[in-house]
Amino acid sequence: MAREVERSAPLRALARGGYAANGLLHILIGAIAVIVAFGGDGASDQSGALMAIAAVPFGFILLWTAAITLGALAVWQLVDGILQRAPADNATGFFSKWGRRIGAWGQAAIFGALGLIAAAVALGARVDAESAAEAASAGLLSIPGGSVVLVLAGIGIGIGGIAFIVMGVRRSFRDKVDIPDEGPGRGIAGLGLIGFVAKGIALGIVGVLLVIAAVDADADTAGGLDGALQALLRLPLGPMLVAIVGAGFIAYGVFCLFRARFARL
């Protein structure tokens, strides 16, 4: 059954649309970040990007399209994780299989959550991911052992950030796309390198903020992507750094648009 679902042509087409929707969101996040870097205002995270889409004429159509395609991509990633196989007598293969499986399921959770948020915004909800992250952190800090969970979450997100940076520097993301080695393929790979590194830096900052919030028992320190960029903005040369990260997110978004065409599905 899972193999039949994965081979479904309609699901594959919608999943490719999910990569395009993810690319559009990252382009908007990057654009908002650049605006913020130059003194503008806006929530530079997924919820801010979705709210920006909702504000344009017929934005609800784009939001529902994003919700459906991101949901399809989540289903495809979930099934792909289930179907990961490796020789039973090969220990390296066993751990590699489970690493790929957990990675696919993690991607499924992220895309599924984005799809649900897009649907909620399309229905008129006003989503504030930053406040939600702070509220969740406050809830954890109010229970025994919650600070440990928050530290582990921060470490996990930080590791994810490092993984993005490594994938960018080593260009291992090419294993997931069929782009040519020469010509336009080199430009697409360059976008991927810049985008993966930029997103990895942002995720790393989010992880650090969560750990600091747990150590200081201050939920206001915790936050999501918008909080990470605001923290970066307060550093020396902060506006320039935020603008660079924003440009990196735009590069990652454009890469995702190409990924919609060249992804190995």
Q: Band the pLDDT of 45: cuts 50, 70, 90.
A: confident
Count of C-beta atoms within a 10 Å radius of residue 110: 17
Mean pLDDT for 40-67 is: 83
Amino acid present at 206: V
Specify the pLDDT at position 254.
94
User: Using one digit for the tens of pLDDT, what is the confidence trace for 142-173?
Assistant: 787 778 888 888 898 888 889 999 999 998 88
Mean pLDDT for 249-264 is: 92
Whole-structure pTM value:
0.84
User: Using one digit for the tens of pLDDT, what is the confidence trace for 66-117?
Assistant: 999 999 999 998 888 887 755 455 555 666 677 777 878 888 888 998 899 8
Specify the pLDDT at position 4.
67
Domain count, the chain: 1
Characterize 4-43 residue by residue with b for buried, 16 or more Cβ atoms within 10 angstroms of its Cβ, and e for exposed.
eebeeeebbebbbbbbbbbbbbbbbbbbbbbbbbeeeebb
Helix (H) or strand (E) holding 247: helix 238-262
Specify the pLDDT at position 71.
93
Specify the pLDDT at position 64.
94
Specify the pLDDT at position 175.
84
Q: How far apart are CA 40 and CA 33, in angstroms?
A: 9
User: Using one digit for the tens of pLDDT, what is the confidence trace for 9-41?
Assistant: 888 899 999 999 999 999 998 898 898 888 877
Specify the pLDDT at position 250.
92
Q: Pick from 61, 72, 66, 71: which is nearest to 28 by CA?
A: 66
Specify the pLDDT at position 258.
93
Mean pLDDT for 119-131 is: 79
Our CA angle for 134, 245, 258, nearest 5°, is 105
Q: Pick from 215, 210, 246, 52: which is nearest to 133 by CA?
A: 210
Specify the pLDDT at position 252.
92
Specify the pLDDT at position 90.
55
Residue 161 belongs to domain spanning = 2-262
Structure tokens, 260:
């919609």
Specify the pLDDT at position 123.
87
Q: How far apart are CA 157 and CA 163, in angstroms?
A: 10
Q: How far apart are CA 45 and CA 175, in angstroms?
A: 27
User: Using one digit for the tens of pLDDT, what is the confidence trace for 186-240?
Assistant: 899 999 999 999 989 888 888 888 888 877 777 666 667 777 788 888 888 888 8
